[in-house]
Each structure stands twice: as structure tokens, then as C-alpha cells.
Amino acid sequence: MSARRPIVAGNWKMNGDRAAARALATAVEKSSSGIATVDLVICPPAVHLTEVEGQLREAAGTEGRPQRVALGGQNAWDKPAGAFTGEVSPQMLADSGCRYVILGHSERRTLCGETDAVVNAKLKAALAAGLTPIVCVGETLTEREAGRTDEVVSGQVRGSLAGLGADDVGRLVIAYEPVWAIGTGRVATPDQAQAVHALIRGLLGSLAGAGTAAKVRIQYGGSVKPDNAADLAAQPDIDGALVGGASLDAAGFLAIARAFAG
Ligand code: PEP
């Protein structure tokens, strides 16, 4: 079990219409009682953020309690404003109620050609906007089978975090997401995941000092489901989950969060 406060985030990806987004957000917020020891985040499509923000506030308000579920974006541009057609700035995300933003997800690295340098620029812009970046790293199956996992993940962490001071490193959440486990139903074993999380924490220690590294939360992502979450949560360096498919079902998402609540 991790010594840090766990964080479980749902990446809804490009799924759901407005009505579905409203219903899912309301169900997650309303059923989140009893998970007070875990930070809960949902990351809807950008076009639904404002609406979901209102739903979360209303759902908590009808129960007369503070909102438990925070909002995150799935991506952001690296500038606050300007001629960047189709993009969303981190300031816009913050203005829409986001506290978090996922950066460098493998789908963006693969489908949109995002390099570590791009992720690094976005990460700095997100920090400047006051957001908490959830920085994704992870190896492909070919890289793992070639014995290159440590080298690839270390390179992504170094490249994505280049130039950051210890204070900024301390503001990040890292998500280790082996590409071969995302959306495949093939989850990393707890030992496989723990080994890479320990590697990342060691690297953070050399970049920002052991004190900072001990504070940074490292999520595992890749086919996390209610029935495998507890074994992952039992590992000392796994501080939560970044959940894709299973986050589209409120009960499943919250069951995963409960596994991290201990
Ligand atoms: C993800 O997209 O970040 C993810 C982990 O997806 P899934 O849980 O569906 O594997």
C-alpha cells in the first residue's frame, strides 16, 4: 500500500454525448461517499467540461456537502491564447473548472506525433496556468520484449520533465501506462508495474531529490478494472490509477477507487 494519498482519474477519451456526460458525472459525484481518502478526478472531452463542472457542483450541492470529484482536461496546448485553431489552452481548462490535465497520453504520442519535447512544453504551460499535469509515460510491447522498458520509460521521464525545478516536479502526477496494456484487457502484473514505478521514483529522486520523489504520486494505467485494482493498490509505489474504459461506468470507476482507499 502506498504511503501517499492515492489519486484515481477517469480518462473518458472521445466518448459520450452531453446527456451521457451529465449522467456519468452526476453518478460518480453522488456515489463518491466513503472514498474520502482518495483524490477522484474525471477527464471528460473538452467540449463537455463546462457542463460537467456544473453537474458535479449541483450533485454535491443537492446533498449539502462539498464536491468530491475534481475535473481534468485530456490535453492542452502549450500557449495561453492565440492563433492555434482547434486547440485549448491550459488557462481555458482552468477557467472551465479543471484542476488537472492529462499530458503525453500514448494515444497522443502515437496518433498526434507528440514527442517528449512537445510534452515538456505543454507541461510547463500547464504548470504556469496552475494546473496539475498528469504526465503519461510507457513502453510499447516491442520495446518491452526487447528488454528496453527501463531505457524507454527513463528517457520519456527525463525528456518530458526537462528543465523543471524540484518544486515543479513535486507538483506533478506521473502515470505509468504500458502501451500494450491500454485498452487491451491485458494488465501489467503488480510486480511488473511496481518495478517500473520504483524505477520512476528513483529517477525522480535523482532529478529533484529524494524528498520530492517520495511525495510524487505515480499512477498505473492500462486495463485497470475493479477485479485487478486491489492487487495493484497493494504495491508500495502504485499511488492510484489512470482509468480509461472502466471509467465510463460510475460503479466500476468507484470500485477501483475503493480498492485504493484500502
Ligand atoms: C488510458 O487510456 O489511459 C487507459 C489506461 O485506458 P484503459 O483503462 O481502457 O486501458
Query: Within its chain, how far is the Cα of 87 from the centroid?
Result: 20
Residue 79: which pLDDT band, with cuts at 50, 70 and 90? Answer: very high
Q: Which residues neighbour 127 within 8 Å (Cβ) at sequence distance 6 or greater?
A: 133, 168, 171
Q: For residue 33, how many other CB atoms are within 10 A of its CB?
A: 11
Domains and CATH numbers, the chain: 7-261 (3.20.20.70)
Query: Within its chain, how far is the Cα of 10 from the centroid?
Result: 7
| Model confidence pLDDT, tens digit, residues 143-167 | 999 999 999 999 999 999 999 999 9
Give catalytic status of residue 177 as yes or no: yes
Closest residue by Cα to atom 8, ligand 1, is 244
Contact of 41 with 69, CB cutoff 8 Å: yes
Residue 235: which pLDDT band, with cuts at 50, 70 and 90? Answer: very high
Mean confidence (pLDDT) of the chain = 97
Q: Which atom of ligand 1 is nearest to the CA of 182?
A: 10
Query: What pLDDT, on the 0 to 100 scale, is given for residue 2?
Result: 79
Instruction: Enumerate residues lining ligand 1, CB below 6 A.
Output: 11, 177, 182-183, 221-224, 242-246
User: What is the whole-number distance in angstroms between the Cα of residue 64 and the centre of ligand 1?
Assistant: 33
Q: Which atom of ligand 1 is nearest to the CA of 181?
A: 10
In angstroms, rounded to a whole number, what is the distance separating the alpha carbons of residues 24 and 19? 9
Q: Which of 29, 53, 114, 177 is catalytic?
A: 177
Query: What pLDDT, on the 0 to 100 scale, is given for residue 3?
Result: 84
pTM check: above 0.95? yes
Q: How many percent of the chain have pLDDT more than 90? A: 97
Query: What pLDDT, on the 0 to 100 scale, is given for residue 94?
Result: 98
Q: Which atom of ligand 1 is nearest to the CA of 221?
A: 5
Query: What pLDDT, on the 0 to 100 scale, is given for residue 33?
Result: 82
| Model confidence pLDDT, tens digit, residues 95-112 | 999 999 999 999 999 999
Query: What pLDDT, on the 0 to 100 scale, is given for residue 243?
Result: 98
DSSP class of residue 176 equals E
156: left (phi over 0), alpha (psi -120 to 50) or beta: alpha
Residue 223: which pLDDT band, with cuts at 50, 70 and 90? Answer: very high
Q: For residue 18, how many other CB atoms are within 10 A of its CB?
A: 13
DSSP class of residue 187 equals P
Closest residue by Cα to atom 1, ligand 1, is 244
Please give the grid coordinates belonging to residue 183: 485498452
The three-state DSSP-derived secondary structure of 188-237 is: CCHHHHHHHHHHHHHHHHHHHCHHHHHHCEEEEECCCCHHHHHHHHCCCC
